Chain A
Amino acid sequence: MSAQHPLQFVPAAEFKQRSVDATSDAHLRQSFRGAMDFLMAKRAAQFPDDASLQRQRAIAEAIRQYSLARLPDLLEQLERNLTAKGVQVHWAENAEEANAIIVGIAQRHSAKLMVKGKSMVSEETELNHAMEAAGIAALESDMGEYIVQLDGEKPSHIIMPAIHKTKQQIARLFAEKVPGVSYTESVDELIGIGRAVLREKFMHADIGLSGVNFAVAETGTLCLVENEGNGRMCTTVPDVHVAITGIEKVVEKLEHVPPLYGLLTRSATGQAITTYFNMIGGPRKGGADGKGAELDGPKEVHLVLLDNGRTQAYADEQMRATLQCIRCGACMNHCPVYTRIGGHAYGTTYPGPIGEIISPHMMGLAATHALPTASSLCGACGEVCPVKIPIPDLLIRLRGEATHEARPGHAPLVGQGAARSALMDAVWAGWAALYTRPALYRAFGWLATRFRFLTPPTQSGWTVSRTPLKPAARTLREQLAERRRKTH
């Protein structure tokens, strides 16, 4: 990973080159192939009855669409109910605003150390970078996140951040970077090392940060899903807890949570439930006469609601479905492209199919137009999506938006038409001319077949790992005519 930008993402524009590098890295290929096979098998084992799975997906999709249709109202209801419980709600239009809000909170408390539970939204805003710049240490405490941060990397998977690393690599990393630790390949010992280091940090941290899996409007509840307990540590031990989430994560009713939660964990890691489901409804209660006073929990709780391009997706009826996502990662686990290039090649916070359809809204099409092309449109992502996001349709739509003007009546996306080139326009114009004029088409076919010996033996990227394309000796039309003659 680049030493120049230890905390920042590499430009998405270099996606193709990184994909080439990744596919020739045998270790990386093996790590991802093994991990994806494992996760696919675990998910499949959770859904033995397809009819039941389809019922659950239909409800989950309906819940997400119902919530999104009422999103502005639900956000206001959530804000009202959280505020009544003593939670301070902040709104941020972009990453810089979100980071400024969180740095501001930390500075008001003269914080030196922030411990972080897993939060992809904080990765999206590159919060760690902003905290370091303000002189505040930001420590990742999810084991996978801790490992990648220790190595100056970024997560390569939204659920399993260190999935690209082998235990030997992690053993070497710990021996090198953690004081007083000698090389061990025992996973139990490695986890024990992380536990010891991080418990010390939980004890001393001034502020804890987390994401949010579901925000319930009617009760003013923030729900967090995790296995390790670091999320509970971050939201319970320090005096200040800051939660950050995208504006799309809200649902209206508490009863909307179980179907989504059940599908989230089963789709993500093939677990029927996670070790912890943490429902946060406000700071530690003071108690009127000190009698009912709670003895732990944060004294202040903040929620930062982040837009960062989500309202652009929301504005379009088709692309609004992008916001149905509950971040299970099943689309990447089942993606033949992700499995081969891994998460880092994408250069975005969210890799894989969901990243290909959400990143253009966050970063603009100019930087991300190559991403929606990283799909064979096999449809696996759409098929496994627990909330039925039509990912292949959205990939095709974004490919079009990257090469065309906005449709009539639609506001242009950020970076609309960024992939358009004079060469591509000329090729398509030529293709259209050829295919709409029969005489010209026949002449082209005749020339291509008779002069096929002129076909170049190397054909750009195609022949790097494939045999060259060469026209047949006769056109299909000629071959069919020949066959008809013979049979008669």
Chain B
Amino acid sequence: MSANANVSARERILGRLRAAAPQSKPAAPDVHALYAAMRKDDSRAERIARFCAQMAFWRGEVVPVTADGWTDTLRELCAAKGVASLLHGPRGVHDSALAAAGIPGLKAYDRPVGEWKQELFEATDAGFTSTRGAIAETGTLIIWPDAAEPRLMSLVPPIHFALLDADCIHDTLFDAMTAEGWSADGGRSLPTNALLISGPSKTADIQQTLAYGAHGPKELVVLLLDKTRETAANAAEENRQ
């Protein structure tokens, strides 16, 4: 493919489009009005409940955890599921907490994938990632991989554990992207790969029969950290005493 031929293909396509493009342009569609009309105005608790119900519908497991105890819960889950190796981010914010939890087989994603691809694919039982937030309407996790938590952690290991802060659950995808300004400044804050994940990998390609674990994780476990509920529970506990 010579550069010239390519330039001319570009010019010819754009030329044909420009020659035919309509003179009067329709006005910008009012997406905000659409979502304003559909808005549910749920309370925080309703939003969390909706997220949990939807995630369960996709066969994602939601496990309530506490700020102090989530690593213990994770260790217990790993033991129950027979996880012999748990992958975590090399410089993730939860590094020290994980290390202190005494989870057997904990290993860091600390070198480029090309150096250990086979081990990642064949000898890694589970991956643990943080999340940026979630979407209640559809039971969806928002995950922005980066250097500290690479892209494949939520895809290759058969089990994906994801820690979600209940304060970061938005009503809809539209709400999440507008509230967080994803497209501000030409989308400069967006990572090289942003992900929405709703349940474990699945397919219905054989006779419309749903099967899980098509290529990605067979299980998705959301560790739901709800500090408000925790505070309320603690207060109730103190009241009783």
Interface residue ranges, A against B (CB under 8 Å): 34-35, 38-39, 52, 55-56, 59, 62-63, 65-66, 69-72, 75-76, 81, 85, 90-93, 97, 100-101, 104, 141-144, 147, 160-163, 165-167, 170, 187-188, 190-192, 194-195, 198-199, 202-203, 216, 218-221, 227-230, 232-233, 235-237, 239, 247, 253-256, 258-259, 261-262, 269, 272-285, 287, 291-297, 305, 307, 311, 314-317, 320
Contacts of A91 in B (CB 8 A): 6, 9-10, 13
A277 and B17 within 8 A (CB): no
**Cross-chain pairs A/B with CB under 8 angstroms, 18 sampled:** A65-B26, A66-B26, A69-B22, A97-B5, A101-B6, A104-B1, A143-B205, A160-B204, A170-B206, A191-B203, A195-B213, A227-B214, A232-B195, A255-B32, A272-B137, A279-B193, A294-B147, A314-B17
**Residues in B144-192 with C-beta less than 8 Å from chain A:** 145-147, 150-152, 155, 172-174, 177-178, 182-183, 186-187, 190-192
User: Chain B 109-124 against A: per-residue CB contact (8 Å), 1 yes, 0 no?
Assistant: 1111110011001000
With A195-B215, A232-B195, A276-B201 known, 16 other A-B pairs at CB within 8 A are A63-B29, A91-B9, A97-B5, A144-B205, A163-B208, A167-B207, A203-B118, A219-B187, A221-B190, A228-B214, A228-B215, A236-B155, A273-B198, A281-B191, A285-B192, A294-B150
Supposing A101-B1, A232-B155 touch, asked if A218 and B187 sit within 8 A by C-beta, the answer is: yes
Number of residue pairs A-B, CB distance < 8 angstroms? 278
Report whether B29 and A228 are in contact in the complex, using a CB–CB cutoff of 8 Å.
no
* A66 with B29, Cβ < 8 A, contacts A143-B205, A203-B117, A236-B193 known: yes
CB closest residue in chain A, given B32: A255
The verdict on A254 contacting B182 (CB below 8 Å), with A70-B25, A203-B117, A273-B138 known, is: yes
Q: A269-B204, A275-B197 are in contact. Are A191 and B211 (CB under 8 A)?
A: yes
Q: Among residues 18 to 70 in chain B, which have CB atoms less than 8 Å away from a CB atom of chain A?
A: 18-22, 25-32, 34-35, 37-38, 54, 58
Chain A nearest CB from B39 CB (Å) reads 12
Q: Which residue of A lies closest to B175 (CB)?
A: A258
A281 touches B155 (CB 8 A): no
Contacts of A75 in B (CB 8 A): 14, 17
Instruction: Determine whether the beta carbon of B146 is less than 8 Å from that of A220.
Output: no
- List A contacts of B6 (CB < 8 A): 90-91, 101
- Contact, CB under 8 Å: B22 / A311: no
Contact B187 A100 (CB under 8 A): no
B207's contact among A76, A187, A199, by CB below 8 Å, is which?
A: A187
Other-chain contact of B202, A81, A227, A237, A280 (Cβ < 8 Å) = A227
Name the A residues within 8 Å of B130 (CB-CB): none
CB-nearest residue of chain B to A279: B194
In B92-148, the 8 Å CB interface with A consists of 109-114, 117-118, 121, 137-140, 145-147
Q: Considering the complex, give the chain B residue whose CB is closest to the CB of A312.
A: B16
Distance to closest chain A CB from B49 (angstroms): 16
Task: Kindly list chain B residues whose C-beta atoms are within 8 Å of the C-beta of A203.
Answer: 117-118, 121
Measured CB to CB, the nearest residue on chain B to A252 is B28
A296 contacts B206, C-beta separation under 8 Å: no
